A and B are shown apart, each in its own frame.
Chain A
Amino acid sequence: MPFKFLEDIAIADIAFEVEAKDLPQLFKDAAAAFLAIQVNNPGKVKAVEYSKIGLANREIDILLYKFLQELVYLKDVKSLLLRVKAIDVRQSSEGFSLDAKMEGETLDPKRHDQRADVKAVTFHCLEVKKTGAGYHATVIVDV
């Protein structure tokens, strides 16, 4: 499993951690965690709608925050359930940037087993850090 839900923190909301070999994989897995919070059967989400996301920020944890906030926005405004089809995360002297191609479909209550509705990404315990094996991130979302 590319992500893990954390039991003992964020009792009123949902917390998860991700470990990945590099930043693109980290962001891809964080988006997968986000999708798994919304529906219990993410595998049933078909790839029939597409969306592009392009973002930049000085800090990598804020970039992750903004990326996931974008998924919250697309969920609310277009009812989209999305996963990463392809993503590029780059580092420069000015910080970090990403370009992501997302795929998915609009929520269908008849086919998608709803879990929780993510309403915001929080800064609480938000962290992206380099590890010996790559990167580790912790995120708490408000549901």
Chain B
Amino acid sequence: MAGLKTLSKISETVWELPPSYKPGMKVPARFFATQNLIEQMDQGVFDQISNVAFLPGVEKYVCCMPDAHWGYGFPIGGVAAMRLEDGVISPGGIGFDINCGMRLIRSNLTYEEVKPNLENLVEALFARVPVGVGAKGLVRLDRSAFEKLLVEGAGWCVRKGYGEQDDLDRTEARGCIEGGDPYAVSNRAIDRGLAQIGTLGSGNHYLEIQLLKKENIFDANAASRMGLFPNQVVIMFHCGSRGFGHQVASDYIEKFLGVMGPKYGLSVPDRELACAPFGSPEGQAYFAAMNCAINMSFANRQMILHRIREVFQTVLKKSPGDLGLRQVYDIAHNTAKIEEQNVDGRKKKLIIHRKGATRAYGPGFGELPGDFRDLGQPVIIGGSMETGSYLLVGTETSSQAFYTTAHGAGRTMSRTKAKKLFRGSDLIAKMRRRGIYVRAASMSGISEEAGDAYKNVDEVVESADKAQLTKKVARFVPIGNVKG
């Protein structure tokens, strides 16, 4: 593999691909991973991240996270910071599923309290949280209300009674990015999104009931401050902006392909890296539409949280106070955000593209709620449905990667190959024997999501820890799973 041979080692977990690797690279590419994880990365990662380094206005270096694998334009796990004044914005650097993200909710419940009702809980969640192809959302909105939601994000849901202010305080960007403009969004995107608010989706999206075992608490102080305790049951789910975000991405990739050459004299080695100057009308329009999709996704997850709370109350016949279902945090994976960061001693406003990568600010980050601002921004990294997931906190040293860390385990095997090798019913039976109760809309979907199709999430997290991008707080194991 050409990439590995040309990497120079900066430390055990930091490697660099020089600009000489490919003519056209303006900056190097930095990899934050152990050698073992780098050796598992496909050639596509090296091809794509080196292409990202071609983009105008790219600052310092582009980055690859420990879970990187190839994607469209940027690799999944790719990060690039672009200067506002001369940089571009590229939908390939955000991804189709804009603001695909994770939400973690703590509870007052122990495993012993939940276990007798686990199957009932999973069945009720499967019945009441829309999952799978064609599922209709939890609220039916007219266009006018939907457009308001695109501007207000999760705040729209809370003001309508679907949650609490505390949920917003514990969401990245407080559940709403400013600058969403529905006029920048196509009618097709709105048509697709209108009936999808409060839907989980399918593929690698899921809702899990998880257990925090005592031996999996790595930072007892941080865990306690975030409302966690040994033998606790928590809930975690993963979903994004659904068809709406995908249509926004598709619309603007097409638009950018039409203007970037003739109007701006730009060319890229890969159509999926289509871009436009950030300050251009097209660049600003995409940014406004992308912000709508970010907000739609926060609203989507807020509605699902509301439904989860209802289900737990109904099945366990406990009051909200007794259940204590309080959000720990909600993070986004696929975004471009304007952030002021210190680069080589100078403060700069940059457009940080994070594609399959998680923001990871350190202690003192002002946006965080006062309860744990001194700990650092919570980061949630999901593993496969058979393994586990992590809660971590960002660090000041993640500034080396523009305050970014990994987002998941990363795939090692295609869906087509996984579907051939694994049977959904066998996997469900195997997980059942391990005490994990699974309910899925698609058996094929289960086979495609087999644990063996993913990298080892423990290794990804250790890598991020060693590179000082994040610090581990706790590890959760699945006991119940709902999949589309």
Contacts and interface: CB of A to CB of B under 8 A. Distances in A.
A38 B484 CA distance: 12
Q: How large is the interface on A (under 10, 10 to 19, 20 to 34, 35 or more residues)?
A: 35 or more
A125 B226 CA distance: 45
B414 A8 contact: yes
A50 interface: no
Nearest to B253: A123
Contacts of B246: 72, 119-120, 142
B159 interface: no
A122 B96 CA distance: 9
A119 B134 contact: no
A5 B42 CA distance: 20
Interface string A95-135: 00000000000110100011111011111101000000000
B480 interface: no
Contacts of B484: 117
A1 interface: no
Contact of A109 (B71, B192, B253, B441): B441
Contacts of A6: 414, 416
Contacts of B76: 12
A114 B271 contact: no
A73 B96 CA distance: 15
Interface in B241-288: 242-243, 246-247, 249-250, 253, 257, 270-272
Interface string B186-210: 0010011001100001111000000
A5 B412 CA distance: 17
B147 interface: no
A126 to B, nearest CB: 8
A7 interface: yes
B132 interface: yes
21 contacts: A8-B417, A10-B414, A10-B415, A12-B71, A12-B411, A13-B415, A76-B191, A77-B191, A114-B133, A114-B202, A114-B442, A115-B444, A116-B203, A116-B445, A117-B484, A120-B246, A122-B272, A123-B253, A124-B272, A143-B202, A143-B415
Given A76-B192, A77-B191, 20 more contacts: A7-B416, A11-B69, A11-B70, A38-B133, A72-B243, A72-B246, A76-B191, A77-B192, A109-B132, A114-B132, A114-B444, A116-B444, A116-B448, A117-B484, A120-B96, A121-B250, A123-B272, A124-B72, A126-B271, A142-B97
Interface of B: 42, 69-72, 76, 96-97, 132-134, 188, 191-192, 195-196, 201-204, 242-243, 246-247, 249-250, 253, 257, 270-272, 411-417, 420, 441-445, 448, 484
